[in-house]
Structure 1
Amino acid sequence: MCVLGVCTSWRTVADGEFFCPDCGGDRNYLRRTGHRRLTVLGIPLLSRGAADPVIECSACRGHFGPDVLDHPTTVRLSAMLRDAVHTVTLAVLAAGGTSSRAVRDTAVGTVRAAGFADCSEDQLLTLLAALAADTGALSGTAEALGAGDRRPRGGLDPCGTALAIELHASLEPLTPHLAQAGRESLLFQGARIALADGSYTPAEREVLGTVGAALMLCPADTDRLLVAARTPS
């Protein structure tokens, strides 16, 4: 038996779901605060102050700092990625137009592959009409898929400040959690939509440049990907 030591008594103050780095997946957690005590022959005697709060995995019992909760769960990360693809698709369509059947088909296929399996051409056109009526309407449009809410059509500046803000708002929270390949894939998908009817227009290039910046890709990488997207797969 240890004659002299320090033990920590823990108290659970919250719980929830998080991505456990040790388990490598979504798990339940307990947020715990602790108090340390000096022990003699296993008997707690003198207070040694508060212990740093920890996040304890309910599966592996590992302890992590509170900042582990900054990482989204797998479910949340999937939703963020799905919504990001949807936002990039709308931005590219707003910049390049929807007169081409090839562009519309590529856009619908991209959004469906991202997780919106029921997405249709009509739904995307409806959301673009809403965006044209209100350049701030891009935020939250992913949740409106299938709602069938048509708004009056109006003018839309595809390279305007409002659209750039919406792209940054959608992509920047996701970017730190994606590897370089994942960020490049998002830009590449947008580029393939823009190229479905031919070469990039200046408006499409500007929007794709904004996407690259929001994904923290350097201009050289953005240019490289836009060139690579021209090569048939």
Structure 2
Amino acid sequence: MPLIGDVRTGGRTVASGDFYCPSCGGDRRYRKRIGRRWHGIGGLPLLPSPGRLAVVECVTCHTAHQPEVLERPTTAALAGMLREGARTAVTAVLTAGGPPGAASRERAAAALRQYGWATPHFPRASGEAPASGAPADPLRDALEPVARHLAPQGRERLLRLAAGVALADGPYAPAERAVLAAVGHRLGLTAPDVERITAEVARASDGPPGDTRRGGGAGHGG
């Protein structure tokens, strides 16, 4: 039976830029083109059809994609989102409950160097005034967008990173547990997953997962 459907012919370029090409498997240049829509048989245009058909064409492989392909961030953009997500999660746990101590700050700096932060800046405490225009919920704004594009292992890795910083100066304090729960939630992890991951990090650090060293309002030790 002949294949009957819409066929796009010709068209003009209405936009261009960088995108992640699924066919090439990497970041490429694209052209967004809008062409005439036709009814066709076997790929041959026969009768004009109302409306226009938009496609995103890879400049390298010339594959045509649906416009929704532009919703996926480029590899470079995703790396930037991951970098900011790591900084936000680490900063939140670092300043939970009071001023961070030297051990915690050193662990945090080492963790963030893995994500390209050469000299990260950390506030002295969670109560430090945010910069003008800072988001009301930085964990939500930094973690939820990147979590949509990460595999479960990638989301767990971010939580493990933050948990390791929390353990740098002793077992989890209640305030740190609360922040880690919020980090896990914004990453789309379940509460049991958060409990499992934080317990695994604590065991790997040779520290008990209980809150035995500090009270809920105590600050980080020096």
Normalising by the residue count of structure 2, what TM-score does the alignment of the two structures yield? 0.80
Q: CA deviation at 1:18?
A: 0.3
Aligned to 2:197: 225
Assess, with a 3 A threshold, how the Cα gap between structure 1 residues 138 and 168 changes in structure 2: closer, same or farther: farther
Q: Rate the CA distance shift 1:136–1:24 in 2: closer, same or farther, 3 A.
A: same
Between the two proteins, the alignment pairs up a number of residues equal to 197
1:103-155 CA-partner distances (Å, limit 9, x unpaired): 11101101111111233xxx32xx346x6342566948xxxxxxxxxxxxxxx
Quote the residue 1:117 is aligned against.
Answer: 118
Distance 1:105 1:186 in 2: 17
- Give me the whole-angstrom Cα distance separating, in 2, the residues matched to 1:49 and 1:186: 49
Aligned AA (1:132): G
- Structure 2 residue aligned with 1:166: 138
Matches within 5 A, 1:32-181: 32-37=33-38, 46-119=47-120, 123-124=121-122, 127-128=123-124, 132-135=127-130, 139=134, 162=136, 165-181=137-153
Q: What is the percent sequence identity of the aligned residues?
A: 43
Residues of 2 paired with 1:98 and 1:133: CA distance? 10
Q: Which runs of 5+ in 1 are unaligned?
A: 141-161
Q: Give the aligned partner of residue 22 of structure 1.
A: 23
Structure 2's unaligned 5+ residue stretches are 206-222
RMSD: 2.5
* More RCO (CA 8 Å, sep 6+): 2
Change (3 A) 1:138 1:87: farther
Instruction: Indicate the SS of the match to 1:114.
Output: coil
Q: In 2, Cα distance between the equivalents of 1:26 and 1:136?
A: 33
Partner of 2:218: none
* Other structure's SS at 1:200 match: coil
Equivalent residue in structure 2 for 1:192, among 164, 169, 182: 164
Cα distance change, pair 65–47 in 1 and its aligned pair in 2 (3 A): same
**Shift of residue 100, structure 1, vs aligned partner:** 2.8
What SS is found at the alignment partner of 2:194? helix
> How does the TM-score come out when normalised to structure 1?
0.76
- Describe the SS at the equivalent of 2:202: coil
Code of the aligned partner of 1:112: R
Alpha-carbon distance in structure 2 between the residues aligned to 1:134 and 1:15: 40
Q: Structure 1 CA distance, aligned partners of 2:39 and 2:181?
A: 59
> Which structure shows the bigger proportion of residues in helix conformation?
1
Contact preservation (8 Å) 2:20, 2:73:
yes
Q: Distance in 2 between matches of 1:109 and 1:21?
A: 34
